[in-house]
Structure 1
Amino acid sequence: MLAKTYNLDCDLVYQRQWRRTPVSVASIQDYLSKISKRSWVLHECLERVPEDIDAMRGLLEYGLQGTDLEALIAIGKGEDGGRFILCEREEVYESTDGYGVEELMTSTEEATRNRREELLAQVNFDNLTLAQRELCRARLRLLQFSDRLLTYEEVLGGPHAAGERYDHRFFEKFRSENIVRLAVNYARAAAALTLRQLLPSLSGSCCPDSQAAAALTLRQLLPSLSGSCCPDSQAAAALTLRQLLPSLSGSCCPDSQAAAALTLRQLLP
């Protein structure tokens, strides 16, 4: 109110309050949501790591809400003015008369999918502006951090345990670390349970390049394990490979298969 009364820049006032306040669900609503400059808001969503896991989740979700299709379309039309455009999640309401639960869910999902296709049709992905490309890059990082947060929750023992065990300093490194290198480190520590939680996303990857890179990285990083005096480390490493390599065995990439076979020979004599 004072900022408006004295014709001050409200963004600067809220930015200062946001920076001086620990990140929480409440501070996101009270301060960050009132800042209009898109680049500044996205920087905070990407760079700040709250001490509380709920705040971390809330910050990432807030960033994702500002990088969805509605924002991308507004930027393309030049209607954004550099503002952070909050894309509210649309809920499709339909009459439940004559519908069973499964039928209603199917109908709602179809309506939501149709709405999303309509929005996608308004975006020319072959001719994105610089601002649109920056928005897409920010969204990709936010999605990666969100996925890694879910993985970290599983490593900590699930959502309930994660609330007590969450370490924001560890997560700041964990969210940006190469997933294969993380797996190797856990294998060397004989953390087989953690490996099972870390690696499903790799074994199910549909990207041959990612699989090839994973196999190559394992070949480079794991030779020392084959001579390890710790049977648990060897067992964990072998488990890692079994989880990683089923999809590689059917890969069309000879280098991936060769790297996988070499790694197996080194680890599983």
Structure 2
Amino acid sequence: MRKIDCHRHCSGAAADLEELKSSAAELDIKKIVLFGHNGMGRVGVDEKVWEWYSKYKELIVPLACDFDFVEGDLEYAVACMEKGFYGFGEILIGHAGAQKKRLAGVKYSDPIPIAIFKLAAKYDGFVLVHSNPIYSKDFLAAVRECEQTTFVWAHIAYDFENKAMPDAEEVERLLLENKNLYFDISFWTTDASCMGAPKYINLLEKYSTRFIFGMDLTKGYLEMQNKYYSNYEQVLNKLSKAAQMNVYYENMNKLKKKREAKKFNEEK
């Protein structure tokens, strides 16, 4: 079944670039949403993402993330969208590690992040974010203020601090209350089979148009993929074929094509 991997970090390593196409072909991955880390001190990663995109435009969907969320970043965000980035991500304001480093003290609901998120909507782009549950109130305030912006909440809001899945009923409530919110189901090195309980399978099936496949590969893509993909497959194989197609491909393809339609009109 064809796929789009919505959550891939650009390692910057030549070896990873070389195996990008072959690793994607193994799983019938048609597109890879590629980005850096904006919260862990990696300044300049957007340039590397664009360099990779320039080499593999048929495969890569680039996102920009090199923000401190200070004065001047809005102009940089405009330049990124004008250049051709599809949106912004992975935004790590709600990441415990980032709050101890580059993004200390920044909130999702601060004026500059809000302005950048609203900018994504102007260009029909999307924003992929990380927000641990302790930061979810702040993030959800931003989601509601930026109601025209499409947000993808990474890791299905998994609590990495306490190694716990969110309550399925809470996720359903958030989906019903926020029509501009999607969840990706990437888990980095956490076992994706944590989604295998019936309540989560039922959730994925019922709201299959709001969940997006991704694996959060960070480096050594082929090795990581071979180690972790089977757990995603075991979970998603429990869904109907139509629901699988939504999660694996259709949902992200819809967001991608919306941005591309805007880019096409801008370039005419």
Bigger relative contact order (CA 8 A; separation at least 6):
2
With the shorter chain as reference, the TM-score category is: under 0.3
User: Which has more radius of gyration?
Assistant: 1
Structure with the largest fraction of helix: 1
Structure with the largest fraction of strand: 2
TM-score of the superposed pair, with normalisation by structure 1: 0.28
